[in-house]
Chains A and B, each alone.
Chain A
Amino acid sequence: MTSLAYYPGCSLKRFASGCEIAGLEAARRLGIELVELERWNCCGTVFSMSSGERMHHLGSLRNLVRVQEAGYPEVVTMCAMCQNTLRQVNNEVRGDGDSLAMMNRFMDEEPAYRGEVEVLHYLTLLDRLGSEAIAARVERPLTGLRVAPYYGCTLVRPPSAGIDDPEDPNIMERLLEALGAKVVRDPMRVECCGAYMGVSKPGTINVRASAIHGSARNSGAEALATMCPLCAHNLDAVGPAPDEPALVVFYFTQLVALALGAKPEQCLAATQRVDPRPLLSTKGLLEEPQP
């Protein structure tokens, strides 16, 4: 069993717990133990892009200090937004010695951050294992399930914090193929769902979700797969306009856990508004895996 440091972030402990439960189970089945940091705090959610706002990066940096203290060279995140923010903050202090020194002075009650921790997304971790190694562990192939990966923004942009090509990513496609699913390439897979704008302009999310669901449906998908709690909220909990059909929205980790043979209860997020069970049941994916 390989052990790696794990940073969950706030959402995975609350409304996106389904992502975490399935993700930890899938990792365990792949021989990876994700060790949650003993102490962690909010990453800050978004990266502050202006030169005058560096103080906002302290939240992320403190988490990187926690990883350094625990003696791990890398830290794994499942949440796309946490990965993005931690990576961008890390990149900034690593590329600029003055900035690192200044930030260390701001948090002088902490041990100085040396800038050596690598932030790793869960999908990158799986991809490193390789499709063949994953395919070899599949107990319940997702045969016939037509899934459109939905990357959204923070998994792929900006390129310095992305886990794959910003305009033509393939990492989820590769992994889904290894799990036996039918991959659907949706032209809107890297277009934004509206992100946090649903807070002050609620109607915008329905419009974005309609476009994204419609495009995936027209491409032949039965379900969307994402790694972002905010995308999942916008595409599923908010969803398209009420009179329009909505696809099932999965956290990618749910599909991995299901394919690796986890019990369906570990793979079904309680928060999913569009119930995935009818779809999974028609594909025979709620049954015990064949030995």
Chain B
Amino acid sequence: MKTSMGSGSTRIPLRQQVEELCEQSIGTCYQCGNCSSGCPMGPWMDALPNQLIRRLQLGLEDTTRFASPWVCASCFACGVRCPKGIDVPRVMEALRVVGLRSGEDHIGPHTIEKKRLSQLPQIALVAHMRKATG
């Protein structure tokens, strides 16, 4: 079920939402690309972590349309490697939370084939559900 609250005109800008959720400023990112170069899931992303941050800096509200946050494995590597001290995994998490608040889950038991479901360890299922469902 899709629930929406409030009207479009009072929407908080995406960058502000993200910065409040991840409790940091992304203004200091100077686009070195370090976060993206070490990202294990980069090959499956439609926008790399540094590109998402640039889009947020530019105030591009459609940045929620990218699949990258749902492909991020929360490995914390980008956060350790950012020379500006930006906790990039938290930015990815904030983008997921914004997406989930729109009411749409990105995974569910029904989306996984029954046979695979029985073979997947619960640690993987619970972790993924926690990241991709509201």
Binding site for B on A (CB under 8 A): 10-11, 14-16, 42, 44-46, 48-53, 56, 79, 81, 153-154, 157-159, 166-167, 190-202, 204, 207-208, 229-230, 233
Q: Would you list which residues of chain B between 104 and 129 have a CB under 8 Å from chain A?
A: 106-107, 111-112, 116, 120-128
Contact of A158 among B76, B107, B127 (CB under 8 A): B76
Query: CA separation between A19 and B123, bound complex, in Å?
Result: 15
Contact of A49 among B38, B89, B128 (CB under 8 A): B89
Q: Within B14-72, which residues are at the interface with A (CB < 8 Å)? A: 20-23, 38, 40-41, 43-44, 70-71
Given A50-B93, A153-B75, A197-B73, is A81 in contact with B41 using a C-beta cutoff of 8 Å? no
B107 CB contacts on chain A under 8 angstroms: 199-200
Contact (A48, B93) CB under 8 Å given A10-B122, A192-B73, A192-B75: yes
Within 8 Å by CB of B121, from A190, A202, A230, lies: A230
| Cβ contact of B124, chosen from A52, A190, A207, A230, cutoff 8 A | A230
- The closest CB in chain B to the CB of A154 belongs to B76
Closest CB in chain B relative to A75 CB, distance in Å? 19
Q: Is the CB of B121 within 8 A of A195?
A: no
Q: For the side of the interface on B, what is the size category? A: 35 or more
Are A45 and B130 in contact (CB-based, < 8 A)? yes
Besides the contacts A196-B128, A200-B106, what 9 more A-B pairs have beta carbons closer than 8 Å?
A15-B121, A45-B123, A46-B131, A51-B23, A158-B76, A192-B77, A199-B124, A201-B71, A233-B123
In the assembled complex, how far is the CB of residue B112 from the closest CB belonging to chain A, in whole angstroms? Answer: 7
Please report B residues at the A interface, Cβ cutoff 8 Å.
20-23, 38, 40-41, 43-44, 70-71, 73-77, 79-80, 87, 89-90, 93-94, 97, 106-107, 111-112, 116, 120-128, 130-132
Contacts of B128 in A (CB 8 A): 196-197, 199-200
Other-chain contact of B130, A56, A79, A207 (Cβ < 8 Å): A56
Rounded to whole angstroms, the CA-CA distance of A48 and B44 in the bound complex is 23
8 smallest CB-CB distances across A and B, nearest first, come from A192-B75, A157-B76, A196-B127, A196-B128, A195-B73, A49-B93, A192-B40, A199-B128
Report which of B21, B40, B77, B87 forms a contact with A208, defined as CB distance below 8 A. Answer: B40
Verify B21–A197 contact, CB threshold 8 A: no
Q: Which residues of B contact A196 (CB under 8 A)?
A: 73, 123-125, 127-128, 131
